[in-house]
Amino acid sequence: MRVAAVAGVGALVIGYFQAQGSASDDQDVDRTVAYQCGFTTGSRAVEVGFAGVFPVAGEPGRPFAPGDMTLSVTLPQDAAGELLAAEAESFSGEATLTTPVTQNGETAQAQWPVLSAEQSPAPADGEALSVTYHGAGPEITPAAPGDVTFSAGDLVLTFQSDGAESPSRVECAPDPSQAEEARHLATVEVTGGEEENSAAAQAAPEVEGQSRDGAQPEAEDVRPLAQSCPSLPASAQPDPRWIPEPPPGTGEVTVEPGAPEPQCVYSAGFANVAKQNGAMIVNDPARNPQTASVMPAHSFGSGGEGYFAQYTVVQLRFPAARSTFLSFGFAPVSATVEFDSDLATLVTWQNNAHPEPTTTIGFHQTLRLSDIEVNGVPLAVGSNCRTAEPIEVFLEAGEGYDVFGGGRLSGEVEIPPFTGCNANGEDLDALLTATISGPGNHIEFNQGELCDPCTEEHIPSLPEH
């Protein structure tokens, strides 16, 4: 349930990336990016290697495309048993890769043509599952001058083993705890053509088969949405800290296990930053929104006076949020905000005296800031700029909310002071704390209905703001 999100300074203007180049027409890329992949045993850390060729430079209005790309993935030892048939001797596979492509502060989501893995021997017992995929990139047409940056994005891996009737799959996303720079793949310098302050400069680069605003116009070009939900850890339990105290007279509450089926959910909303007198969009429905995994009706509680409660566990997955605020009313400040959230606990309860269900959700979340620019000038804050302690997020559901059907969730949070924000010998903790931290930051989300698989119809609109 993508409820959450608090923010400091975010950035629709993505921070700068180091441009790469050489005297040749192409640049070689060799990167390793940390991912989190969802298995039935829970989310696991996986390293993905990217080796390929990108152009060094381009021109406005003229398409270019990355060259051959090789993805190298090594999955944990127990992954083979989950993804390959028990007696499989060999397997093949495909990978679906999405890369955010950014120019002049605007981003389009570029889905690559399918990358393929040739038939390979299945690993022996106790060995890791290593796969290599090959393919070429999509065609990109920049609308104006300005560097075009490619970053690692969502990755879906499918495996077809001999002896299996249908392929298996695993969904992966870049580890949100790593710095934005760690996901950067390449920068293509685009010069010439229209001036950068033209209307074209405000548009994202055009991706073949996709509109500039990131919407996919044709059904066959629609980016695959969540077809299966990553399972939550077997140890996932409701957190007692977020379970409201039962009303007087309830007596002892007996908790019994439910029979939950993990599902996905989309949410979209706004997070206000009170000191900046502004708000940013979180999980923008128009820009590759992500799902969270939900274990609805994980367990139930019952007690006297007709008390009944339903406990749901949620694995939050937040994409980095980007926005620009006018600090002090005139200086534009942009940054990237990343979210590090623990498991959330959603509780719905009612009793004889309160027959209408009441729903709340609570979790802790740490914010990380990077790629900050003040009036277009980069402000180095290092790779570990974060809130000194996790934020306590507690949201209440609006009228008509239902965990299965969705609805509105809202609340206010206090953003703690910042720490670790220093680079080049400057300690910026106090500056960021003074401009961001404090109480009264309103959060409001629309949650969609639970889904598995999910389609575009499950993505809710932004709440009125």
Label residue 203 by pLDDT band (50, 70, 90): low
Mean pLDDT of 86-107: 86
Would the CA dihedral through 237, 238, 241, 245 be positive or negative?
Answer: negative
What distance in Å separates the CA atoms of residue 334 and residue 378, rounded to the nearest whole number? 9
Q: Is the pLDDT of residue 385 over 90?
A: yes
Q: Is the pLDDT of residue 133 over 80?
A: yes
Q: Is the pLDDT of residue 19 over 60?
A: no
| CA–CA distances in Å: residue 408 to residues 266, 355, 399, 401, 411 | 12, 19, 8, 6, 10
- CB 3 within 8 Å of CB 444: no
Query: Does a cis peptide bond (omega within 30 degrees of 0) precede residue 60?
Result: no
> Strand pairing partners for 153?
none
Long-range Cβ pairs for the range 295-299 (8 Å, 24+): 295/232, 295/236, 295/260, 295/262, 296/260, 296/261, 296/263, 296/403, 296/404, 296/450, 297/258, 297/259, 297/260, 298/236, 298/237, 298/238, 298/257, 298/258, 298/260, 299/238, 299/255, 299/256, 299/257, 299/258
Task: Report domain 26-217's class.
Answer: mainly beta
The predicted model scores a pTM of 0.54
| pLDDT score of 61 | 76
| pLDDT score of 30 | 94
Label residue 160 by pLDDT band (50, 70, 90): confident
The strand ranges marked E within 175-328 are 184-190, 206-207, 254-257, 263-265, 267-273, 278-282, 292-302, 308-315, 321-327
With 0-12 / 13-18 / 19 or more C-beta atoms within 10 angstroms meaning exposed / middle / buried, residue 53 is middle
Q: Is the pLDDT of residue 287 over 80?
A: no
Query: Mind listing the pLDDT tens digit for each residue in 308-355?
Result: 999 999 988 778 887 777 555 446 778 888 888 889 999 999 999 999
What distance in Å separates the CA atoms of residue 37 and residue 45, rounded to the nearest whole number? 6
Q: Is 70 helix (H, G, I), strand (E, B) or coil?
A: strand
Q: What is the Cα 191 distance to its own chain's centre?
A: 31
| DSSP letters for 3-19 | -----SS--SSPPP---
35-49, 160-174, 199-213, 378-392: which range is least confident on average?
A: 199-213
What distance in Å separates the CA atoms of residue 331 and residue 325, rounded to the nearest whole number? 8
State both tokens at 276. 């900046």
Q: Is the pLDDT of residue 217 over 80?
A: no
Label residue 152 by pLDDT band (50, 70, 90): very high
Q: Phi and psi of 149, rounded to 5°?
A: -110, 140
* Strands 438-447 and 155-161, sheet pairing: unpaired
Q: For residue 430, give every residue at least 6 positions away whose Cβ sits within 8 Å of its Cβ, in sequence order, or none.
A: none
- What is the domain partition of the chain in residue ranges? 26-217, 240-458
pLDDT, greater one: 227 or 53: 53
| pLDDT score of 327 | 58
